[in-house]
Each structure stands twice: as structure tokens, then as C-alpha cells.
Amino acid sequence: MLYRTVTNPLRHTNQSWRRGRSNCSVDTSRNMRRDKHSTASQSNREDRSRSPINNSSFPSSSTSSSDHYSKPDTNTNTVFRRAFKYYKKRDPRPDLSEVIEPRLMEGRMIDNCSSVTNDSFSSLGLRPLSEWKVITFPDRVGLYLLPDLLTPSGHSEWIRHGLEYSMDGNNKTNIALHSDEPLVLFLRLLSYCFDSTLKLIPFSLTVQSDFRSLRWTTLGIHYDWATKEYPSSGHPLPSELSSLASIVVSALGLQEIKADTTIVNYYPPKSTLSPHVDRSERTHRIPLVSLSVGRPAIYLTGGRSLDDPVLPILLQSGDVLVMDGDQRLVYHAVPAILPPGERKGPLEEEREREE
């Protein structure tokens, strides 16, 4: 299936969350190898303000960018809005040479993490902690990228989770799913995002309509889209979601959390997520954790103003992004979903495969 699922973010709304820090550290002496692209990326991120997407000559946007959790912004001529429109366009295609690719960058290894064990890693589809690397940005303290955390089977399991969540009666979606057809049909379609040579199984019109229309599923304490608030209670969050969030923040040495709500966003090939700030949670003092599964996407992260410099990042299946501290309330967006499969050349070639 041609879509991308993001558990974005794991939103903790309980005021009784635990305080404290885990006993973990990042070993700066055990650096990952760097290649030409990594070196270029390091140079690019040292002064992102020089990028063409961050100057006034960038074309103005007239696209609406409403925030799902707050009032929409109507100012169309801002740095972020121009960047969003630029990476969203399909003809002509944007120059993607400025896009950061975390998997090709130097990272720091996680070390001395006594509060995290590998016992639950396999059940969550996670690679051993010794294989994790962390990418940070000097000018964006609180933004963490942890690329390629999932095992090969972990990708399939989290895709399955994302689908099963949408059909669980305790969860809410943007549509009322009413299909009784076997789950295996959906999973077969989902697997297409990894192998485009698969022959698709015919689906009923009802299933096709449901699947094309599915955009989000909420779990745990459900976000109220009408009031733009979270209620005080809800259903328990699936254990794999809360465990994933706890492991990630513990490995980074951040405040311990017990996540109690999640929004899963589903992205068809030409869909986007407009610039917004996640500010509806009851507290902004704890990190948000995002897991990307499925198709790669361009992710934009900015600042608290729509005129702050914008950083474009390639997120791929299995990548985790964490927003903490000053990065907790920055504008972010997804302007483009890229074609399926492993990256085998320039990003421009990936875009061409979708045509």
C-alpha cells in the first residue's frame, strides 16, 4: 500500500508524570563513519540561513496552512510557508540537494544506559541499543533524530499495528470503518509500499473507499477535534506505544514519561501535513516522540516564528524524531511523501519514479 504511517506524537497529558532523568549518556568518541554526503550535510546545517528556502527571494505561497491543534495562520508570505510550497510542488520538481539525510550523517552512539535493557527490544521490533545513533543540531537544542531503529520484521509489525489501531473499537478515526474483509487483505496492500512488484489482491469498493479516506487514528486519551482539547481520561494506550516512548526518551537521557495518547497519521502519496505547532497538550515540558513507518517523506522543522530558518529532513521508515525543550513548540510540517523502496540514487530520481 502506498502510504506512510507516523505515530506522531506520543502525547503525555497526565499531570502526574514522573520527574527525573534516566542514567544514560551519549558517547561522542564512538562516531559513525562519514561519507561525502555526510560532510556536505554537516556543512549545510552549520548555516542553514544561507539556504535558498530561508531567504526573501523564495517564491510566495498562497496555500493555507492550518494547525490541527490551534488557530490557522493566514500569513502566506513567511519563510516556512514558502518552504512548504517549494517542497510540495511537483512541476517543476524542487531541488532536494539541501535536504538532510540522517542515515548518511555522522551520529553519536548511546552508551552507559543502565535504565534501558535489550529484553523488550525484539518484541518492539527495535535494533539493539548498541546500533542506535543520535543526530543533534547545535542551533536546535532539543531536536533528536534516531535513524533506522527498526529491524526488518519491525517495519512489518509497526505497519500491522497502524492498521489494527484503525479497526479497534476503542480508538477513533476520521472515518467509520465498516469492512468485514480479512485483515490479510489490508496487510497485502500495505506491503506494496515496500515491494512495488507485488500483485495486488482485488478489494471491494467499500474497502478501497475506506482505505483511501483514512487519515488519522487516535488512541488512549482521544484528542477532541471540535474543542481542540484533551479530556481528562480515556482508554489505556497499547503497551507497545508507551514502551517505545519510554525506551527512546530513556536512551536519550530525557525526562521519564508514561505516554497516554497517540495520533497515527496516514499519508497517501500526494498528501501533506500543513505547518503547525503541537500546543494542545496540558504540559509542554515533556518530549514528543514520533516514529515514521512506510514511505519516506520530507519533514520541515522551523522555529517558534514562521519566519525562522527552516530545516528540511528526509524521514524514512524506522526513523524516530524527538522534540524536547525549546524544540517542543516549533512549527513543523510534511510537504511531500516520496516513492517507496530503498534509496538507490539522488532524491530527484526517487521523485521521478512516482510519475
Position 171 scores a pLDDT of: 87
Cβ neighbourhood burial of 346 (10 Å; 0-12, 13-18, 19+)? exposed
Position 135 scores a pLDDT of: 96
Position 300 scores a pLDDT of: 97
Position 14 scores a pLDDT of: 36
- Average pLDDT of 285-308? 92
Estimate the crossing angle of helix 183-190 against helix 205-213, to 10 degrees: 60
For residues 166 and 212, is the Cβ–Cβ distance under 8 A? no
Q: Is residue 305 scored above 90 in pLDDT? A: yes
Residue 313's pLDDT band (boundaries 50, 70, 90)?
Answer: very high
- Average pLDDT of 287-312? 94
Distance CA 6, CA 3 (A): 10
Per-residue pLDDT reduced to its tens digit, 20-29: 344 555 554 4
Q: Percent of the chain at pLDDT above 90?
A: 31
Position 351 scores a pLDDT of: 45
Q: Is residue 224 scored above 50 in pLDDT? A: yes
- Rounded to 10 degrees, what is the CA torsion of 272, 138, 34, 354? 10
Classify residue 73 by its DSSP letter: B
Closest CA to 186 of 215, 225, 159: 159
The overall average pLDDT reported for the chain is 73
Report the DSSP beta bridge partners of residue 315: 297
Distance CA 51, CA 29 (A): 30
Closest CA to 44 of 112, 102, 118: 102
Position 284 scores a pLDDT of: 72
- Which range has the worst mean pLDDT, 10-14, 153-157, 308-312? 10-14
- Average pLDDT of 37-63? 47
- Average pLDDT of 301-307? 95
Q: Is residue 343 scored above 90 in pLDDT? A: no
For residues 178 and 209, is the Cβ–Cβ distance under 8 A? no
- Rounded to 10 degrees, what is the CA torsion of 43, 48, 53, 57? -110
Domains (range + CATH), the chain: 4-353 (2.60.120.590)
Flag whether 119 is marked binding.
no
- Average pLDDT of 160-188? 71
Per-residue pLDDT reduced to its tens digit, 38-49: 433 444 444 444
Flag whether 222 is marked binding.
no
Flag whether 278 is marked binding.
yes
Residue 327's pLDDT band (boundaries 50, 70, 90)?
Answer: very high
Q: Is residue 153 scored above 80 in pLDDT? A: yes
